[in-house]
Amino acid sequence: MTLRTSNQLFDAYFSAESMAEVFCDQGRLQGMLDFEAALARAEAQVGLIPQAAVAPIAQACLASLYDVDALGVAIASAGNSAIPLVKALGKWVAGEDPSAERYVHLGATSQDVMDTGLVLQLRRALALIEADLARLGDILAAQAQRYAAVPLAGRTWLQHATPVTLGMKIAGWLGAVTRSRQRLIELKPRLLVLQFGGASGTLAALGEQAMPVAQALAAQLQLTLPEQPWHTQRDRLVEFASVLGLIAGSLGKLGRDISLLMQTEAAEVFEPAAPGKGGSSTMPHKRNPVGAAVLISAATRVPGLVATLFSAMPQEHERSLGLWHAEWETLPEICRLVSGALQQALLVSAGLEVDPERMARNLDLTQGLVLAEAVSIVLAQRLGRDTAHHLLEQCCKRAVAEQRHLRAVLADEPLITAELSATDLDRLLDPAHYLGQAQTWVSRAVTEHFALTA
């Protein structure tokens, strides 16, 4: 028995089971066999082959009938998966109806079988990704609204900046998800197309019946018939991979933000807790962001895989040597990684644990310095911009040197108290009163999400 390796130890962590099923060996074979069955039906429909030949061919187009190990060995000599599969299909058909065997794969070439089979797999993969993105959008929209007014330290260059809200941060994640959903909708007509060109793309073997067969085949598979075969024009696949790369990057941003917010020094937002989740083999106290790790990992791995597909685009003449081969495992791997990241994003986002009190304490770590801009803006209208900025800068330096709250330092400055009352200073140094358009951004992101969903 042939020993076959797998990555089952990591599959559940880095890939969704539903996506793994799409791109498993059986899934790949079934996509190609679906092409062969549809080709027979289409050719019978236009009268190119006898109708009686369809049933024996279609009945043999079941992936479970074929020995994957044997096909794998044969591929090493054949150079692609379609050649040994078509031979095996012919043997099955001949065993049931020798006269039907002559009509197997009529007029097609190996790349027609493999590319169209891949497109059929990608249609399933695309449906899974779209459904998960829509669910993630719903969750993020709800969370953004829930925390729309909860102040959180804005951080620029990893340092405290002016306040934002947690809802605004989540709305940023939501906006990226919505844009990715829009991109998938836009590319779908370009991606879900038939590949059918025969030996060199002319379909010469089918004579005058070529276009009727192509049209019938596209209809059978519910794919669009493109303007011409695309054996060495790979932009459709690369466009899809690029959008998946954007999705991976956007999910990586979500994961990065959550992992930073989970740091001990911040401790503001956490992944949902569960028995045995995020622990350490030696440190009982640890609560590691294991979901965020998958998001960041996918965002790190996928760009290199997308780059492989870009590198494989300048393919030679009418059929490529090696560059086409470089795609075979690359695009499925991208789909699996994105699917795994989406599963973790759904789990993390739905169960976010938030500590608003810790957020408030962290906002005050600089003892009011993060709100110096708020005071400076108001004073600029009364004292002039340069004067106000210089004055606040000196007050901030004094607050740091004396380890005092900025509010106390400002109260000691006559130039400031002459313009601002104690009530004014209290309001200006309250993070809840310096959130700008944070809630507006939440509302706009949520509205855009639901407009796409409707």
Is residue 338, in this structure, part of any structural domain at all?
yes
pLDDT tens string 352-372: 999 999 999 999 999 999 999
Give the bridge partners for 193, in sequence order.
224
Residues 312, 394, single domain; the answer is no
- From 319, 358, 398, 404, active-site residue: 319
| 212 burial level (CB within 10 Å; 0-12, 13-18, 19+) | middle
Is residue 452, in this structure, part of any structural domain at all?
yes
Is residue 433, in this structure, part of any structural domain at all?
no
Q: Strand, coil or helix: what is 245?
A: helix
Residue 313: Cβ within 10 Å count: 15
Q: H or E segment at 303?
A: helix 290-311
Question: Considering its fold, how many domains does the chain have in total?
Answer: 3
Residues 313, 328, single domain; the answer is yes
pLDDT tens string 233-287: 999 999 999 999 999 999 999 999 999 999 999 999 999 986 665 554 454 555 7
Is residue 162, in this structure, part of any structural domain at all?
yes
Residues 163, 207, single domain; the answer is no
Residues 300, 361, single domain; the answer is yes
Give the domain range for residue 394: 369-428
Question: Which position has the higher pLDDT, 418 or 6?
Answer: 418
Could you tell me the CA-to-CA distances from 82 to 29, 68, 256 in Å, in that order?
Answer: 9, 12, 42
* pLDDT tier for residue 8 given thresholds of 50, 70 and 90: confident
Is residue 128, in this structure, part of any structural domain at all?
yes
Count of residues making up the chain: 454
Residues 389, 443, single domain; the answer is no
pLDDT confidence of residue 3: 44
Residues 344, 270, single domain; the answer is yes
Q: In sequence order, what are the residues at sequence separation of 6 or more whose Cβ sits closer than 8 angstroms to the Cβ of residue 278?
A: 271, 286, 287, 288, 289, 290
Is residue 454, in this structure, part of any structural domain at all?
yes
**Region of 451 on the Ramachandran plot (φ > 0 left; ψ -120 to 50 alpha; else beta):** alpha
Is residue 247, in this structure, part of any structural domain at all?
yes
pLDDT tens string 98-134: 999 999 999 999 999 999 999 999 999 999 999 999 9
Residues 310, 355, single domain; the answer is yes
Average pLDDT of the residues of the chain:
94
Find the mean pLDDT for residues 188-216: 97
Q: Where are the alpha helices (DSSP H) in 82-200?
A: 82-96, 98-101, 110-146, 166-191
Q: Strand, coil or helix: what is 159?
A: strand
Distance CA 179, CA 205 (A): 44
Find the mean pLDDT for residues 35-51: 98
Residues 78, 32, single domain; the answer is yes
pLDDT confidence of residue 452: 94
Residues 25, 140, single domain; the answer is no
pLDDT confidence of residue 276: 60
CATH number of the domain within which 13 lies = 1.10.275.10
Residues 128, 28, single domain; the answer is no
Q: How many CA atoms lie within 13 A of 419 on its CB side?
A: 17
Query: Residue 215 is which amino acid?
Result: Q
Cβ–Cβ < 8 Å for 243, 336: no
| Structure tokens that stand for 434 in this block | 């310096």
CATH number of the domain within which 181 lies = 1.20.200.10
Find how far residue 252's CA is from the centre of its chain: 9
% of the chain exceeding 70 in pLDDT: 95
Annotated catalytic residue 376: no
- Which residue matches tokens 């998966």? 81
Cβ–Cβ < 8 Å for 267, 361: no
Distance CA 250, CA 128 (A): 18
Kindly tell me the sign of the dihedral angle through the C-alpha atoms of 49, 50, 54, 57: negative
Distance CA 6, CA 450 (A): 41
Model confidence at 13: pLDDT above 80: no
pLDDT confidence of residue 445: 98
Residues 58, 136, single domain; the answer is no
Annotated catalytic residue 15: no
Model confidence at 29: pLDDT above 90: yes
Residues 183, 260, single domain; the answer is yes
CATH number of the domain within which 415 lies = 1.10.40.30
pLDDT confidence of residue 2: 44
Number of helical H runs and strand E runs in the chain? 21, 4
Lowest mean pLDDT among 13-27, 57-71, 78-92: 13-27
| Structure tokens that stand for 395 in this block | 């007050």
pLDDT confidence of residue 1: 38
- From 99, 200, 280, 311, active-site residue: 280
* pLDDT tier for residue 14 given thresholds of 50, 70 and 90: confident
